[in-house]
Amino acid sequence: MKFVKKFVILILVISFSINFAQQQAPTQQRRVSMSEEIQYLIRLLRDISQLDKDKKTAITKAQAQKLIPILQELGKVNLLPKKDAEKFIQRIEGVLTNDQITFLDKLEIERQKRLQEMRERSQRTQQAQQPLQQPQWRRQQDPNISEKEREQFQKFMEAWSKGQPLNPFYHLDMHKRMLNDLITSLKKK
């Protein structure tokens, strides 16, 4: 059951990614990005905190005790190839109930819908621009991200482009903070 849900989400993510990449190909060089597994792992850990918003899906003390060592181990790994990321995903999801997995899947589907809507709005805006104007592909910079974090991320992505599967939870302060915040909240259970 979990595999089917993950497979459906993976297909959605891949189809959106391929569609977006095909639309951007003529005007933009291919951007290097983290593997789908790493991106999914980041979203999974970010979304786990959302489980506590509903009593039916809240993380129990027993689950927290199982998750903490997995997350601590994740934070100590320097390299995180796709296969290792997938193992961490399986271990984390193995602790969660079907209701919790379903809730997380719904969050992912909603996120993909919002991304698609943003892409469509962006395309309509670009089409309405004058033909001589160059499209603006830069994302708006997040004011919550420091210059140091931007530089870290740039170096991190350069390493990824050279085939080094660095672990964002080990190398990037913003992801270390997210992981540590999650561990701290789980310890309070």
Question: Residue 163 to residues 80, 81, 187: CA-CA distances in angstroms?
Answer: 11, 10, 35
Can you give the pLDDT at residue 26? 40
Per-residue pLDDT of the chain (189 residues; tens, 9 = 90+): 554 455 445 444 454 445 444 444 443 444 456 789 999 999 999 999 999 999 999 999 999 999 999 999 999 999 999 999 999 999 999 999 999 999 999 999 998 898 888 888 877 777 766 554 444 444 445 566 788 888 888 888 888 888 899 999 999 999 999 999 999 999 999
Can you give the pLDDT at residue 121? 82
Cross-strand pairs, 79: 166
**Cβ neighbours of residue 29 under 8 Å, at least 6 residues apart?**
none
Residue 91 lies in a domain: yes
Please give the structure tokens belonging to residue 42. 């980041």
Can you give the pLDDT at residue 22? 47
Can you give the pLDDT at residue 46? 94
Residue 188 lies in a domain: yes
Residue 108 lies in a domain: yes
Residue 111 lies in a domain: yes
CB 29 within 8 A of CB 77: no
Containing structural domain, residue 185? 1-20+35-121+162-189
Residue 95 lies in a domain: yes
State whether the Cα torsion 146-147-152-157 is positive or negative. positive
Total tally of structural domains belonging to the chain: 1
Determine if the pTM surpasses 0.85: no
Residue 131 lies in a domain: no
Residue 101 lies in a domain: yes
Instruction: Give Cα 39 to chain centroid, integer Å.
Output: 4
Residue 176 lies in a domain: yes
First to last CA, the chain: 28
CB 157 within 8 A of CB 182: no
